[in-house]
Amino acid sequence: MSLNDQALTDGPRYARFSRRLKAILLDWMLAMALLFGAVALASNAQSDTLARILGVSVVVILLLYEPVLVWWTGGTLGHFWANLRVVDDHGGNLSLAKALARFAVKSVLGWYSFLTMTATRRNQAVHDLLTHSTVQIRNPLKAKPGQFVTERSEDDPAMPSRLRRALVTAVYLVPAVLFYFGVLAALLRAGLLSRACLDRDVCSGGDRIVDFATAVAFLLMLALIIGMGWRGRLPGARKA
């Protein structure tokens, strides 16, 4: 069987978080370049009218960049560079309404939207689930095995009910959240994180690094608990 035939018969390839993160970072760099370019242009022009026009234009571009490109081409420039495509569950690109809703949910939830990926059969974030979409490899012939997963099998009949798995997962999430706040308290006592940064977001460079590292570790811990709980791998979520 040729590689092309295999790509057609193996079914959709759903992007891993690492691949989606690459697309997000590339889009973020483009947004920063646009912002800094607009600020530099407005400063050199020394015109309040031009500054206002540039400001409004940048805001409109940043708000419509993702939804319009997802609707029109199936993905942003970051998606293209990462070999990804946003696909409607009914096939093809998302409608403009769905693309706008997807962007809105992702903007509101931020990184927390991605916590459900390990618990879903097709690596879907919350904004994917709510808009009935998936993020897939655009060109399977250019993808490496570590960049995607295929659809996971349906629940094993021997697996506990969804309600039991959800309750057990929630039980594990409570101490995880308490542990996170305990870590923050310990960092405050040790002087590694300032109270001003935690309460008022007035942070030094060191505070930013510590706060970011702690938040990332917390999100990874939550994702691991949710994924293991939903797959019945946590103690208490497995049948005896």
Residue 188 CA to residue 207 CA, distance in Å, equals 10
- The radius of gyration of the chain from alpha carbons, rounded to an integer in Å, stands at 21
User: What pLDDT is stored for residue 95 in this prediction?
Assistant: 97
Higher model confidence: residue 184 or residue 52?
184
Q: How confident is the model at residue 225 (pLDDT cuts 50, 70, 90)?
A: very high
φ/ψ (deg, to 5) at 145: -55, -35
- In angstroms, the CA 133 to CA 191 distance is 44
Give the E-state strand segments of the chain in sequence order. Answer: 14-15, 84-88, 133-137, 148-149
Q: Which of 126-140, 146-160, 164-178, 187-201 has the lowest mean pLDDT?
A: 146-160
Q: Is the pLDDT of residue 208 over 60?
A: yes
Q: How confident is the model at residue 8 (pLDDT cuts 50, 70, 90)?
A: very low
Do residues 85 and 133 make contact, with C-beta atoms less than 8 angstroms apart?
Answer: no
Q: Which of 10, 1, 146, 34 is nearest to 83 (CA)?
A: 146
Q: How far apart are CA 185 and CA 128, in angstroms?
A: 35
Q: 236 vs 29, which has greater pLDDT?
A: 29
Q: What's 111's DSSP letter?
A: G
pLDDT tens digit string along 20-61?
A: 999 999 999 999 999 999 888 878 877 777 778 888 999 999
What is the mean pLDDT of the segment spanning 7-20? 82
Residue 105 backbone phi and psi in degrees, to 5 = -65, -45
Model's pTM, two decimal places? 0.81
- CA distances to 3, 38, 151, 182, 224 from 220, rounded to whole Å, are 34, 35, 22, 17, 6
pLDDT at 236: 73
5 pLDDT above the threshold of 90: no
The tens digit of pLDDT for each residue in 55-110 reads 899 999 999 999 999 999 999 999 999 999 999 999 999 999 999 999 999 999 99
Contact 172, 42 (CB under 8 A): no
Token representation of residue 15: 């992007």
- So what's the pLDDT on residue 41? 85
Residue 106: how many other CB atoms lie within 10 Å? 21
Provide the β-strand partners of residue 149. 14
Q: Please report the pLDDT score of residue 200 as a whole number.
A: 86
Q: Tell which residue, 194, 221, 222, 218, has the closest CA to residue 208.
A: 194
Strand partners, 137: 84
CA distance 110 to 234: 26
Contact between residue 81 and residue 53 where contact means Cβ atoms under 8 Å apart: no
Lowest-pLDDT range of 7-11, 107-111, 165-169: 7-11
Let me know: does 75 contact 20? Beta carbons within 8 Å.
Answer: no
